[in-house]
Structure 1
Amino acid sequence: MPEPLRAKSGELSAEEILAALREGRRVVIEKEMLGGVHEVTLRLDGDVYYCDTPTTLHKHPDEEGMRACIDKMGYSRRDEE
């Protein structure tokens, strides 16, 4: 399994995150939430995108849904619209 791509929230663009997922890499994002700094793991398994947060596991059926989650949760840079 390829080494996970690790970044702090806002360091990567949504496209950089999605490209890593398409390559089969997990992306671990460090983000401030719930009163501390936590890691969120993003991954693609088959055709389903997963976003594993400290409190829940979100599933997205397609890249569009995952991109929306990445943008909404602030995992990517905001400058790419």
Structure 2
Amino acid sequence: MPEPLRAKSGELTVDEILAAVREGRRVLVEAEMMGSVHEVSLRHDGTTFYCDTPTTLHKHEDEEGMRNCILKMGYARDEE
């Protein structure tokens, strides 16, 4: 199993995150939630995209759904 990619929220672009996930890597993002810092796990099992937070496991059927979640939650930096 490939080594996870670790990043802080806003450190990577959404395309960098999705490229790693498509390669089979788990992306661990350090994000502030509810006043404290937590680790969020982003991954793909070949069929479903997962965004595992301390409170919820979000499932996305396609890459576009995962992209929207990553952007909405602020895990990626704004691309300019």
TM bucket, shorter chain: over 0.9
Alpha-carbon distance in 2 for matches of 1:35, 1:10: 17
TM-score, normalised with respect to structure 2: 0.97
**What percentage of residue pairs aligned between the two structures are identical?**
76
2:61 aligned partner: 61
2:43 aligned partner: 43
SS at match of 2:54: coil
The CA deviation at 1:47 is: 1.3
1:72 aligned partner: 72
SS at match of 1:76: coil
2:23 aligned partner: 23
Gaps of 5+ in 2: none
CA RMSD of aligned residues (A): 0.8
How many aligned positions are there?
80
Alpha-carbon distance in 2 for matches of 1:19, 1:46: 13
Alpha-carbon distance in 1 for matches of 2:17, 2:11: 10
SS at match of 1:3: coil
Amino acid at match of 1:9: S
SS at match of 1:18: helix
SS at match of 1:66: helix
Alpha-carbon distance in 1 for matches of 2:66, 2:46: 14
The CA deviation at 1:35 is: 1.5
